[in-house]
Amino acid sequence: MSAQPKRDLPQEPGHMTVRIPATPDQTWALDADYLHGRLDVLKSLGNHYANRIFLLDLISDLMLLGGILTTFFVAWWTFIPMTGLACLQKISNRRMAGELAGRAAQESTDAFLYLYNSGVLWLERPTSPTSDRLRQLLLR
């Protein structure tokens, strides 16, 4: 089973991407929102990746439900910190999905090719100037 390409680049603002430095001249980017939304892509890299994200999402949903329940049984204002913590956990889960896929891509060539061909992984422009003196001379 292969993932379908999700959309054309560049990403819209507010879209979470995880950057993986490969060399001083190359930086790869992963679409963390897409990976978080489609756990089947992570499952093809390894079941433990998808299970980990699913469990952490379940914990953040339970925190949100706990915040609503404590509003009725403890105090009205308790939903505010619980909702904030649940939202921070969801954001952290998205980032972790990208980092797990990046780790899998660095460890396995098959995972790297799968992510690249599915459109989740792409090459970004270098973030630092090139380290090769000849290349610096030719770029001038």
Mean of the per-residue pLDDT values of the chain: 84
User: In the prediction, which pLDDT does 8 show?
Assistant: 47
**Coil, helix or strand at residue 95:** helix
For residue range 65-109, what is the model confidence (pLDDT) as tens digits?
Answer: 999 999 999 998 999 999 999 999 999 999 999 999 999 999 999
Contact (Cβ atoms closer than 8 angstroms) between residue 49 and residue 35: no
Domain residue limits, the chain? 32-122
**Whole-prediction pTM:** 0.75
Residue 79: how many CB atoms within 10 A of its CB?
Answer: 19
In this prediction, what percent of the chain has a pLDDT beyond 90? 59
